[in-house]
């Protein structure tokens, strides 16, 4: 199985701050990396697929980058509605695997 | 827009079989290229992929659960089902069904919490 490791596990930032979350794969996965947002008590919601493709309807504050083993999710200007846990997921091979999550809250 | 809804008992006894159903509406389960998945989330923890099924019946299970999992499809009812045998308290989780395209999950059900009681 491909192991996905996210950092940090949690972070606290101010409204308007730029926030960066990293995800590392245990082996190269090309650009087969996806990001999800999970608000408390809700199902995950797909934000970005194929490392950098923003899903329709997702705020342009979100962006993704990377390839191979190292990936980044950036929130350009943190807003209160961005409070959530963010997960990366590799779609390179089965079984599909997720990172452990990064919890984002407001300072 | 496709919607997914999980259903099933919220309480299961240890060693019994957990059975859940996911009903798909607003779209056909026969849509080409889409796979239908079960994913679970232990309380306060991350996401674990259980497996998927294609409308043709092709399945793939996570090796960590493969010996206990069966996923089936009923195209006439636009439903998929999950059976997890020999459950223990470690199987307490929120169970989601989700649709994947190219192995990313673009639609999710709201999830159903399954807990265990002796």
Contact B47 A89 (CB under 8 A): yes
Kindly determine whether residue B102 and residue A45, on different chains, have CB atoms separated by under 8 Å: no
Token pair, residue B98, equals 């989700």
Q: Which residue has the tokens 């089965």?
A: A94
Closest by CA to B92, choosing from B10, B23, B20, B6, is B10
Comparing CA positions, the residue from B108, B65, B63, B107 lying closest to residue B83 is B65
Which of B46, B104, B110 is closest, CB to CB, to A43? B110
Does A91 sit within 8 Å of B63, measured CB to CB? no
Please name the residue of chain B whose CA is at the shortest distance from the CA of residue A98: B47
What angle (nearest 5°) sits at the alpha carbon of residue B77, between those of residues B72 and B81?
Answer: 25
Residue with tokens 């919220």: B10
Name the residue of chain B whose CA is nearest to A47's CA: B106
Low-confidence spans in chain B with pLDDT less than 50: none
Which of chain B's residues have a Cβ under 8 Å away from the Cβ of A89?
47, 104-105
In 3D space, the residue among A27, A28, A33 whose CA is nearest the CA of residue A47 turns out to be A33
**Prior bond to A8 cis, omega within 30?**
yes
> Is the separation of the CB atoms in B57 and B44 below 8 Å?
no
Tell me if A98 and B110 make a contact (CB, 8 A cut-off).
Answer: no
User: Within 13 A of B24's CA, how many CA atoms are on the CB side?
Assistant: 26
Note which residues in 53-82 of chain A have CB less than 8 A from chain B: 55
How many pairs of residues across A and B have Cβ atoms under 8 Å apart?
A: 54
- β-partners of residue B73 are B80
Which among A61, A52, A99, A53 is positioned nearest to A80, based on CA atoms?
A61
pLDDT at A18: 98
Distance CA B118, CA A22 (A): 42
Tell me what pLDDT residue A43 has: 98
DSSP for chain B, please give it.
--EEEEES-SEE-TTS-EEEEEEEESS-TT-TTEEEEEEEE-TTS-EEEEEEE-TTS-EEE-TTTTTTEEEEEETTTTEEEEEE-S--GGG-EEEEEEEEETTEEEEE---EEEEE--
pLDDT in single tens digits along all 107 residues of chain A: 999 999 999 999 999 999 999 999 999 999 999 999 999 999 999 999 999 999 999 999 999 999 999 999 999 999 999 999 999 999 999 999 999 999 999 99
Q: So what's the pLDDT on residue B118? A: 72
For an interface test with A, give the residue of B44, B60, B104, B110 to mutate (most A CBs within 10 A).
Answer: B104
- Cα–Cα nearest to B25, from B77, B81, B72: B77
The pLDDT assigned to B116 comes to: 87
Check CB contact under 8 Å for B64 and A95. yes
Which of B46, B102, B111, B113 to mutate: most A Cβ within 10 Å? B46
């Amino acid at each position: 199985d491909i192991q996905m490791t996210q950092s940090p596990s949690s972070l606290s930032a101010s409204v308007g701050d730029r926030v960066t979350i990293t995800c590392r794969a245990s082996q190269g996965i090309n650009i087969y990396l996806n990001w999800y947002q999970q608000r408390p008590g809700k199902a995950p919601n797909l934000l970005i697929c194929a490392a950098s493709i923003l899903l329709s309807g997702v705020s342009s504050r979100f962006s993704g980058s990377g390839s191979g083993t190292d990936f980044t999710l950036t929130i350009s200007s943190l807003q209160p509605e961005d409070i959530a846990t963010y997960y990366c997921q590799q779609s390179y091979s089965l079984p599909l695997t997720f990172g452990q999550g990064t919890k984002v809250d407001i300072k | 827009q496709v919607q997914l809804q999980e259903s099933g008992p919220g309480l299961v006894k240890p060693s019994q079989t957990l059975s859940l159903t996911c009903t798909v509406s607003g779209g056909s389960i026969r849509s080409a290229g889409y796979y239908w998945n079960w994913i679970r989330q232990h309380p306060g923890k991350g996401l674990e992929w259980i497996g998927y099924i294609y409308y043709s019946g092709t399945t793939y299970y996570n090796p960590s659960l493969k010996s206990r999992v069966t996923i089936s499809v009923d195209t006439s009812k636009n439903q998929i089902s999950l059976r997890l045998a020999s459950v223990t308290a470690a199987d307490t989780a929120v169970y989601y069904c989700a649709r994947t395209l190219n192995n990313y999950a673009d639609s999710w059900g709201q999830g159903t919490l399954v807990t265990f009681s002796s």
